[in-house]
Amino acid sequence: VDRLPGLRRLWQLDGDAVTHLVKAGADITDETVHRHRRAVTPDTTATLIYTSGTTGRPKGCVISHANLMFETDTAISRWEPVFHSRPGDQASTLLFLPLAHVFGRMVQVAAVRGRVKLGHQPQLNAAALLPDLAAFRPTFVLAVPYIFEKVFHAARRKAERDGRSGPFDKAVKVAVRYAEAMEARAFGTGPGPAAGLRMQHQLYDKLVYSRVRAALGGRVRHAMSGGSGMNRRLGLFFAGAGITIYEGYGLTESTAAATANPPERTRYGTVGLPLPGTTVRIADDGEVWLHGEHVFRGYLNAPQATRNAVREGWLATGDIGRLDEDGYLTITGRKKEILVTSGGKSVSPGPLEERVRDHPLVAQCVVVGNDRPYIAALVTLDAEAVSHWLAMRGKPELTPAELVRDPDLETEVRRAVIAANTLVSQAESIRTFRILGHQFTEERGLLTPSLKLKRKAIEESYATELAALYRG
């Protein structure tokens, strides 16, 4: 604040701001207020929201009232039925996305527009969030995949502690098969779950799935996910467990969602169909382009950057994707994140990182290799999962320095890397990796508020470790 010479007023809601505002406006007539309100048009700037800055300096996106109204009203009219756990109840959601991020801001505005009861939990971590979900008991949630991953892994660890890991794993397989059968029926490619599968599903609903739902408060039957890609199998599991997750895709520049899975025909592993009034096209180089009334008005004080991003009304997203025969979009990578090895091999890091992160012990993974001879990775650990893993094996607690040298733990992480390498050719595979003693955090400047990796900052922070991966 002390470096913002243009800042004249700062109001804090928890600092009696309302009282100060009422006092400051006591002498202003109603006609003056209404005149100012009438001066606001759909094209008037409503807010500035900054990009996450994963690949460079954050840019301020000028979002108009028309952008916000189109985005929120379209979402409400298309997805309002899924806001409820049962017909006729009071829709409610617990918002835990950062309000500085476009997803969180869109949810906030949509809740007001859609008369949804809204609670807020400012900490985007499972330890703080899960107790509040149990207390608030929302009817639906909007989250990033990280939250659903945490719920799943916590349920798996509890089952293992109780000696029920075998039944839990069986329940996961049944949920996935059940959801796949329901998906096939929705698309007309199958009859739905067979009688035997329905019976198994009913049994595990009481033993396992109800407990998973309880972790989200017990009333959630629908959820929306965005911010990054969700593993198809994870989405299928939650659907089979009674919580349908509608994955979507968007950017700050598109005022959040541009595509999302429709309630009646969800295709897991994709980010769905264009929102009503939105058009998606794939450019010759595979880049996703968007057109619609939610496309922003431009970058603040950056006309050249705006011209580069918006071309004749089309927003060039910088993301690489493909459309299937039914028009469902799948995001496969980001243009600025494509790694090109010194041997000229192009590698998209996202799918590799996602598969490594599927392992319950892994918290984060960053794949590197740009202008280097081969692909490598930096891996961080989930502290809670590691403590559980050590306890289940009768091993003592280890310091971070000891953990990164533990041969059994290294073997577990190596399995995750091997699983990821099955997705790509040998030239594109992760050849070596380094386990780090601490996670990447927002406080250290290595994550965005929505938990996306700041790749350049991570590579600079761990330059020594990266050099060791390529030494010799």
- Average pLDDT, stretch 402-413? 94
SS3 272: coil
Tell me the domain boundaries of the chain: 1-334, 338-469
Distance CA 409, CA 389 (A): 9
- Token representation of residue 412: 């577990």
Contact at 8 Å (CB) between 52 and 449? Answer: yes
Range 1-334 classified under CATH 3.40.50.12780:
yes
- Average pLDDT, stretch 407-421? 96
Q: What percent of the chain has pLDDT over 90?
A: 84
Q: Mean pLDDT score of the chain, rounded to an integer?
A: 93
SS3 433: strand
pLDDT at 126: 75
Residue among 236, 469, 298 at smallest CA distance from 369: 469
The pTM for the full model equals 0.89
- Average pLDDT, stretch 365-376? 95
Bridge partner residues of 321 (DSSP): 331
- pLDDT (tens digit, 9 = 90+) per residue, 112-129? 999 999 999 888 777 788
Place of tokens 């769905």: 272
pLDDT at 472: 56
- pLDDT (tens digit, 9 = 90+) per residue, 212-265? 999 999 999 999 999 888 999 999 999 999 999 999 999 999 999 999 999 999
Contact at 8 Å (CB) between 319 and 276? Answer: no
Contact at 8 Å (CB) between 174 and 212? Answer: no
Quote the distance between the C-alpha of residue 331 and its chain's center.
13
Sheet holding 140-143: strands in order across?
A: 140-143, 222-225, 244-251, 256-260, 273-274
What's the residue count for the chain? Answer: 472
CA R_g for the chain? 24
pLDDT at 110: 95
- The CATH number of the structural domain formed by 338-469 is 3.30.300.30
- pLDDT (tens digit, 9 = 90+) per residue, 4-56? 999 988 889 889 999 999 999 999 999 999 999 999 999 999 999 999 876 67
- pLDDT (tens digit, 9 = 90+) per residue, 71-98? 999 999 999 999 999 888 999 999 988 8
Band (352; pLDDT cuts 50, 70, 90): very high
Band (418; pLDDT cuts 50, 70, 90): very high
Band (200; pLDDT cuts 50, 70, 90): very high
Q: Identify residue 317 by its one-letter amino acid code.
A: T
Higher pLDDT residue, 191 or 86? 191
CB-count burial class (<10 Å; 0-12, 13-18, 19+) for 195: exposed
Distance CA 370, CA 447 (A): 20
* DSSP classification of residue 182: H
Band (305; pLDDT cuts 50, 70, 90): very high
Lowest mean pLDDT among 58-62, 103-107, 143-147, 197-201: 143-147
- Residue-by-residue DSSP string for 337-365: G-EE-TT--EE-HHHHHHHHHTSTTEEEE
- Average pLDDT, stretch 382-388? 94
Distance CA 52, CA 60 (A): 10
Q: What percent of the chain has pLDDT over 70?
A: 99
